[in-house]
Structure 1
Amino acid sequence: MANPSRNVVPKSGRPKTVTLEDVAKHAGVGTMTASRAIKGTGYVAAATKEKVLRSADALNYTTNFAARSLATGKTGIIAVMCGPLNELHHVNVVHLLETEINKSGYQMRLLHTKTDLKEIMHATRATSADGVLAYGVQDLSDEFEFLNSKLLQHCVFIDTYEHPGADYVRIDLRGAVEEAVTLMLSSGRPRIAYAGYSNGVSYQEGSAVEDRLITFVASMQRAGREIEYINAWRDLPYTGRIQALRRYFEENGCPGGILCLHDEIATLIYRALRDCGRRIPEDTLLVGCDGLPFMECYDPPLSVVAQPMAEVCATAWQFLKARMADSRIPLQQKTFEAPLIVRESLNFD
């Protein structure tokens, strides 16, 4: 067999567009087999799939999504709507979803705002999306324009609360958060605080709208304890946030335990406490809430409410594929319970 070339130039002097048929011929398989191998659909032996993908790479083959749209009515594009990528848990979710999407032969289009979503809703067929995966997007399922768009029929929500009337995968954090607060309360330390994002500098009665804070407040109230809220200042750069947290601890003293909205906040709290000469866990117990791998790399390793995002993202993608295949199937809804992983930062014996 001749050596594969990435730059096939016919006599006309114009580069030749590599087709699926070219890939199939190069790999020595049928066109349907090559199509299944590249899309990740149907059964293809592992060795055959590897051979097809090597041929596609050798020929510099890329799927023509506009042509696919005209031929099949599908774009091969999945829109992923997520929060800001300067927050590490969002980056992790996008990575996991993109991995699942690409394995099935689709491409991901990342949407940063609801305006991006509206552009998708009003796009032509060739530039639209076959489905949407929405992570932590508040109130999207209640918006009139989205409710009346075809995309809602092919949308799966990933969230910490339910989306009645839609496909969703939910992460239930309540049990693990309550367990973490109970452990911190059992240490006998007088001050247990919650660190999150807020427009204010203190907790306002009835202002909790997120499961972690709601569960924290309920646990503290049952124990007859005051609610201490620490603002982690989302809009400041990292150095500014650490300085603001350090000032808080210098002016108010350090709580005996802190539950954090995210692992990233726990990281900032960790640094601010260390700057103030506080020891973890001897002086302050510390718990994050994501379960990102680097949390066990600290000294001491940090405890976390571990969101099972790999399983969550894989399930959400399976739900969306099933919905795209048949929009008439019953609602698909599943809840994963997040466990509390207790490490040295919660050890107060």
Structure 2
Amino acid sequence: MLKKNVNISELAARLGLSKGSVSRILNDPQAPFAPETRRRVMAMAAELEYRPNAIARALATGQTGSVAFWLRDLSTTYNAHVAQAFETQIEAAGYHLFIRLYGGGGEDDGKPFPQMTPENADGIVTHGAPPRGWTSMAQSASRPAPLVLTGAIMDPEAIDWVGIDFYGVSRAAVEHLLAPGRKRVALLTPHNMRDDRRVAYMDVMAEAGLPPEVIEAGGESRSDVRRSLAEYIDAHGYPEAMFCHNDDAAIAACRVLRDLGLQTPGDVALVGCDGIEDIEYLTTPLSTIVLPIDEMCALAWRYLKRRMQEPDAPPQRITLQPALALRASSGVS
């Protein structure tokens, strides 16, 4: 026999409180109630396994208790890490997260941005959406919702964003690979990806008077990169070094080089980007750009909370700086 759900009226009766007071305590962490009263309500709700009716709560409070997180896909370890880090932030505040994948490739892939609406969320954080995506989101929303952008590509028209500056640290990575006198330094990147990592690479190669060598993979998964890189090396030989768009690409490159009997960094030096945990388990420690993922997600949640509470607050914008961690894969002992 199915267990009957306890409703808020029954919960209030057990506590000897009004239904309105119990509802406010459960739905608003900032509601002005004594700590002991709040503790009693939360303890009784847990004991009776109370589950709020999301529709009723939305009608009563105008809030869903949910936050939407929009990102392109979960095919890379980095994106999965970002989603998990943001979920950790909002769950600690008593909100629920739901994830929407908007698909598509790089900024210039030519694919239309999907029409997505925020009816089921009190606020939205989007990660890595190109500027045209932000515009489409704003235009498609039938009910405006607070929106915070995060990632590498920031739109100056957006009100709130937490950006990461890839340009300077990417320049440093490419200059590091060129420093021993290497001439053939390649960029390993997904097809049509046009961001500051690519811009920095092209600028440094031009300043050094060297021809760029861009190896474009068919996708961002490790299997896509492995296949594309193996085909490229078979047709063109191998470069002296590679600056990889992300750590997943660098891990795939390590596999390809090992399959070919090539040594890292002796034959091919590598620098990745992201700083994911997986690289700690490679035989040769990977040089990489370590991104401030946890800080980015914490700030995005802080900005979103303020925007939900103060719709007319001034713009909130910050650009975070990643760090270049040099290890054995690029010749640093």
CA distance in 2, matches of 1:169, 1:251: 41
Q: Which amino acid aligns with 1:70?
A: L
Match of 1:4 in 2: none
Does residue 339 of structure 1 match 2:323?
Answer: yes
Structure 1 match to 2:138: 146
2:88 corresponds, among 70, 87, 99, to 99
Equivalent residue in structure 1 for 2:101, among 91, 97, 112? 112
Q: Secondary structure at the match of 1:120?
A: coil
- Following the alignment from structure 1 to structure 2, what is the Cα–Cα distance between the partners of residues 82 and 246? 29
Aligned partners of 2:212 and 2:39: how far apart in 1?
Answer: 57
Instruction: Give the residue type in structure 1 aligned to 2:75.
Output: N
Conserved 8 A contact 2:11-2:44: no
Q: TM-score, with normalisation over the residues of structure 1?
A: 0.80
Query: Shift of the alpha carbon at 1:140?
Result: 1.8
Q: Where do 5+ consecutive residues of structure 1 fail to align?
A: 1-6, 9-14, 200-207
Q: Answer yes or no: is the 8 Å Cα contact 2:217–2:229 preserved in 1.
A: yes
Q: Which residue of structure 2 aligns with residue 172 of structure 1?
A: 165
Whether the 8 Å contact between 1:249 and 1:276 is mirrored in structure 2 is no
- The reply to whether residue 134 of structure 1 matches residue 131 of structure 2 is no
Give the SS at the match of 1:109.
strand
Q: Is the 8 A contact 2:12 2:22 kept in 1?
A: no
Deviation at 1:152, TM superposition (A): 5.2
1:304 to 285, 288, 303: 288
Identity %: 29
Residue 298 of structure 1 deviates from its aligned partner by: 0.9
Over 3 Å counting, the alpha-carbon distance change for 1:148 and 1:230 in structure 2 is closer
What residue in structure 2 maps to residue 195 of structure 1?
188
**Partners of 1:85 and 1:162 in 2: CA distance:** 20
* Cα shift at 1:57: 4.1
In 1: Cα distance, 2:34 partner to 2:235 partner: 64
How far is 1:32 from its partner?
5.7
Alignment partners' CA distance in 1, 2:175 and 2:13: 60
CA deviation after TM superposition for structure 1 residue 272, in Å: 0.5
Matched, 1:89 2:82: no
Residue 113 of structure 2 contacts residue 133 of structure 2 at CA under 8 Å; is this kept in 1? no
Per-residue CA deviations over 1:297-329 (Å, capped at 9, x if unaligned) read 211111111110100011001101000001110
Match of 1:270 among 219, 238, 254: 254
CA deviation profile, 1:185-231 (whole Å, cap 9, x unmatched): 101122101001116xxxxxxxx731110111101111111100112
Secondary structure of 1:289's counterpart equals: strand
- Compute the displacement of 1:141 (Å): 2.1
The one-letter code sitting in structure 1 at the alignment partner of 2:70 is M
- Superposition deviation, residue 118 in structure 1: 3.8
- 1:78 matched to which residue of 2? 67
Query: In structure 2, what is the Cα distance between the partners aligned to 1:293 and 1:111?
Result: 24
1:260 match: 244
- 2:150 equivalent to 1:158: yes
1:38 and 1:52 in contact (8 A); partners too: no
Cα contact 2:184–2:240 (8 A) shared by 1: yes
- In the alignment, is the contact (CA less than 8 A) between 2:73 and 2:102 conserved in 1? no
Evaluate the alpha carbon distance shift between residue 277 and residue 323 of structure 1 in structure 2; reply closer, same or farther with a 3 A threshold: same
Alpha carbons of 1:222 and 1:21: their partners in 2 closer, same or farther (altered >3 Å)? farther
Tell me what 2:205 maps to.
220
1:234 paired to 2:219: yes
Q: In 2, Cα distance between the equivalents of 1:20 and 1:231? A: 60
Equivalent residue pairs, number = 322
Q: Distance in 1 between matches of 2:267 and 2:286?
A: 14
In 2, the alpha carbon distance for the partners of 1:319 and 1:193 equals 38
Give the whole-Å Cα distance in 1 for the aligned partners of 2:52 and 2:73. 29
Where does residue 194 of structure 2 map in the other structure? 209
CA distance in 2, matches of 1:234, 1:69: 40
Instruction: Confirm or deny: 8 A CA contact 2:326 2:332 kept in the other structure.
Output: no
Structure-2-length-normalised TM-score: 0.84
Q: Which runs of 5+ in 2 are unaligned?
A: 104-111
CA contact (8 A) 1:250 1:276 kept: no
**Residues 84-112 of structure 1: CA distance to partner in whole angstroms, max 9, x if unpaired?**
11221111111111111111111112111
CA distance in 2, matches of 1:44, 1:277: 67
How far residue 142 of structure 1 moved from its aligned partner, in angstroms, is: 2.4
Q: Give 1:170 deviation, angstroms.
A: 0.2
Shift of 1:148: 6.9
